[in-house]
Structure 1
Amino acid sequence: MTIGGSSIADELATIGPWATPAPRIALAERMARLDKARALVEAAGADALLIGAGASLRYFAGIPWGATERLVALLLPVKGQPILICPRFEQGSLEAAVEIEAELRLWEEDESPYALVADAARGRLLLDPQLPYGMASALAATGLELGDGAGVIDACRMIKSPAELALLRQAKAMTLDVQRRAARILHPGIAASTVIRFIDDAHRAIGSSGSYFCAVQFGRATAFPHGLPGDQLLEEDQLVLIDTGCQIEGYHSDITRTYAFGEVGDEARAIWDIEHAAQAAAFDAVQPGVPCEAIDAAARAVLEKAGLGPDYRLPGLPHRTGHGIGLSIHEPAYLVRGDRTALASGMCFSNEPMIVVPDRFGIRLEDHFHVTDTGAAWFTDPQPSIDRPFG
């Protein structure tokens, strides 16, 4: 049985660390990333790139460091060694985390890190697009000539290497196993919060640091893409929507399943079938060179043919069809009208053309694919039916 019939204790007792973990990103790959970024910076007519704390700092330097009000950044010149800008009191932590050779330049709490960057930078400096406005303004006040580094960073991070694909594949396979176990613990009266705690515990038991996020929605709450405040108790004959993910070496999973707990009626079943067809149409539209927006259009065409929409009107699809995924759970490019980025081998996306019937129910099926030389390849197999969330 795939829905119900088990218990939290039984499921946690039979789950263990992932048997075949993917290798970490090698130093040689990080060095190749730096070289690619340098070439792109030079081609943009700039002299250096400033990479702020967050996913891009981890991508280039291996440092899992979240952004705060204190500037921690990697200055990457076109020529010369990378320079890591950090508070002096964080020196030991940064030295233990960094995975590339880099010069350290330190600042005390009563000193300006922006003056330190201005002293180290030469010529035109491109900024990480995720750098906060206040930091960008402080850098501009030093007199530096600044530019947008999004084109450099996105061009590097959008195309995943085989090593990145392996880490993404592991994260998604782990979450799919956790989703399968979550379906088995369901019973009338179970609280959504209990399921959320179980999913976090299961993600830890299987080898991640826990759930990166988790949404568990029953019945009417499924009509709201990110749920409603407060807890819920599962009742017979309700739809269940579970959306969750974890991280492996910073690489994300993000999988949604929507299925019937009991009998949910003909309308919900018909909408589920349309959703399934829209997800398949989006997948089938993927080819290298095709613009991202064409994938969104392919999914919406299925909905419009069934009398849903058009555009963002409800009943229908209230948001984009998908997003890029990697070290950030949402990252460029996006499967949405207006994003004309050409698909290329190695790009990775969610595929989730949700259908919402306002204030009644919603159906979201979310799996991820990566672009290949000939089309698309799933990371996880799509849901077979409304009664069978797993193959």
Structure 2
Amino acid sequence: MTTRRDFLATSSASLAALAVTGCDQANADVGTTPVANDLPPAIAALTPMKDGVVPISVDERKARLDKARRLMTDQRIDALMLAGGTSMEYFTGMRWGNSERLLAVVIPAKGAPFLVTPKFEEERALEQATMGPLGLDATVYAWEEHEDPWAFFGKGLRDRGLATATIGVEETVKFQFSDGAARLPQVRTVSGTPVTAGCRITKDAHELALMRHASKVTLLAYEAAYKSLTEGMTQDDFADLVQLAHKRLGYTGSAGVQVGKYSALPHGSATPQVVQEGSILLIDGGCKVEGYSSDISRTFVLGKATQRMKDVFEIEFRAQTAALAAARPGVPCEAVDAAARKVIVDAGFGPDYRYFSHRVGHGMGMDGHEWPYLVRGNTLPLAPGMVFSDEPGIYIPGEFGIRLEDDMVITESGAELFTPQSESLEQPF
């Protein structure tokens, strides 16, 4: 068993920089931009949007841990188990990928957290732990490759008087790890979602500012890519433009792109597609700013839209507006879906899920999809600080699909979109 203070006293390794080898960096922000040579003018004109962006602080993460402990006490959970992923980053600041080797953070309702890590990862784990709220007193139980990590996990519990603990397991923890915890004598495992979702489901002002910024970045990237669209491009060519535009703005971002009849598939097709004059395009994607997500869809046409396309767009616009108008504190989640669905079905695109084939929205935060969900049957009341996608869609097989998606925060008196709604297929920005 090693504490950070012991480690500092005995190790000569430099801790000046965070080691990221092997970490999950798929969502890391990008601090540099590509050279503007040969870029389309609209993309070359973009500059980084980093000013004023403030990372989540150690004190903010400490407050999250305090709230988690209160929720654990309310739920009669003795400790929360986290493995690599979003919740670990949310609470501790540690970015860690998952493998077959157990690395876990255990947060007791009372007492100091501890880590269980492969011995060869101990230095890297302590590096990251020290930079976050676990601090200098983070305790690590490090196991060699031939040893049983669960023996170390159990020792960590016993050292804290939790030999008979009820452990809340974060929902994305691999089965092999949750099963390992459940096999410990006198340990009971339960869902940790009441704790993790209980903390993450509503966003504070700082989180909302990061999400609002992410939405602004993505919309600007989309607009620059749209202005650079030309006939003969493939869907991959256009996706590359979206990615380049995000990079010019200082972030990693992307979008899926579907052209023509393939836009009638909500999540698209891998079939090669080429943009022609009059082609309809549906794009869906986003970026992350300091770990917080945007998720925006736009549908537009290269050149002139047909009257049928315009008519369907108008219905879609009214459906998105109806969902926004229905969303306010105290209203059940399912009512927002119902409001948008009624507009679409009443306009002749029904019944039910026939043309609007998915829920109207999902919760958002650090993950692009998280609790709660705007779907029939979900009676959870909306509350200020919840953030959702507002994304009805109309998909006509063999013809085209239209989806408008903006990110929506529940306010004290209603709801607000982070970005302006799209005006038309020919003037989407």
Give the TM-score normalised by the residue count of structure 1: 0.94
Equivalent residue number for residue 232 of structure 1: 273
Q: Do the aligned residues in 1 keep the contact of 2:334 with 2:376 (CA within 8 Å)? A: yes
Q: Tell whether the 8 Å contact from 1:21 to 1:170 is kept in structure 2 after alignment.
A: no
1:228-377 equivalences under 5 Å are 228-313=269-354, 316-377=355-416
Equivalence for 1:220 = 261
- How far off its partner does 1:19 sit? 4.7
How far is 1:258 from its partner?
A: 0.2
Structure 1 residue 226 displacement after superposition: 1.3
1:205 offset after TM fit, Å?
1.9
Q: Where does structure 1 differ by over 6 angstroms across 4 or more consecutive aligned residues?
A: none
Letter in 1 for 2:125: L
Offset from partner CA, 1:28-57 (integer Å, 9 cap, x none): 211111011101111111211112210000
Query: Equivalent of 1:172, from 203, 215, 218?
Result: 215
Match of 1:55 among 74, 78, 86: 86
- Whole-angstrom CA distance in 2 between matches of 1:54 and 1:19: 25
Could you give the per-residue CA deviations for residues 144-182 of structure 1, whole angstroms, max 9, x where no partner exists? Answer: 211111111111111111111111111111111000001
* Distance (Å, rounded) in 2 between the aligned partners of 1:334 and 1:157: 14
Deviations 1:177-202 (A, max 9, x none): 00000100111111211111122122
Structure-1 residue corresponding to 2:244: 201
Q: Once structures 1 and 2 are overlaid, which stretch shifts more, 43-52 or 92-101?
A: 92-101
Q: Taking structure 2 as the reference length, what is the TM-score of the superposition?
A: 0.86
Q: State the shift of 1:360 in Å.
A: 1.3
Instruction: Tell me the amino acid that sits aligned with residue 422 of structure 2.
Output: Q
Whole-Å separation in 2 of the counterparts to 1:291 and 1:251: 25
Contact map agreement 1:8 1:185 (CA 8 A) in 2: no
Aligned partners of 1:9 and 1:308: how far apart in 2? 39
After superposition, the C-alpha distances for 1:256-295 in whole angstroms (9 at most, x for unaligned) are 1001222231211111111110100001011111111111
1:187-241 superposed Cα distances (whole Å, 9 cap, x missing partner):
1111211111122122122111x22x42111111101111111332110111111
Partner of 1:18: 49
Task: Report the CA distance between 1:298 and its aligned residue.
Answer: 0.7
1:45 aligns with 2:76: yes
Secondary structure at the aligned position of 2:40 is classed as helix
Q: Which amino acid aligns with 1:222?
A: S
Aligned length: 380
- Matched residue, 1:114: 150
Matched, 1:124 2:166: yes
Structure 1: which amino acid aligns with 2:107? L
Report % sequence identity: 39
> Contact 1:42 / 1:78 at 8 angstroms: preserved in 2?
yes
Q: Aligned match of 1:187 in 212, 227, 230?
A: 230
Task: For 2:155 and 2:272, locate their aligned partners in 1 and report how far apart those are by CA, in whole Å.
Answer: 53
195, 216, 219: which one aligns with 1:152: 195
> Which whole-Å CA distance do the structure 2 matches of 1:88 and 1:196 have between them?
42
Paired residues of 2:258 and 2:282 also in contact (CA < 8 A): yes
SS of equivalent residue, structure 1 residue 230 = coil
The whole-number CA distance in structure 2 between the counterparts of 1:12 and 1:389 is: 17
Q: Which has the larger radius of gyration?
A: 2
Amino acid at match of 1:169: R
Cα contact 1:278–1:303 (8 A) shared by 2:
yes
Say which SS state the counterpart of residue 90 (structure 1) adopts.
helix
| SS class of match (1:246) | strand
Whole-Å separation in 1 of the counterparts to 2:314 and 2:101:
50
Give the AA of the match of 1:239.
I
Measure, in 2, the Cα distance between the counterparts of 1:96 and 1:16: 33
Deviations 1:77-112, CA, capped at 9 Å, x for gaps: 011111122222222322333311232222222222
Mean CA deviation greater in 316-325 or 20-29: 20-29
Q: Which residue of 1 aligns with 2:10?
A: none
Matched, 1:34 2:74: no
CA contact (8 A) 1:322 1:351 kept: yes
Q: CA RMSD in A?
A: 1.4
Q: Gaps (5+ residues) in structure 1?
A: 1-6
8 A contact 1:300–1:310 mirrored in 2: no
Q: CA deviation at 1:310?
A: 2.2
Measured after TM superposition, the shift of residue 251 of structure 1 is 0.9
Counterpart residue identity of residue 296, structure 1: D
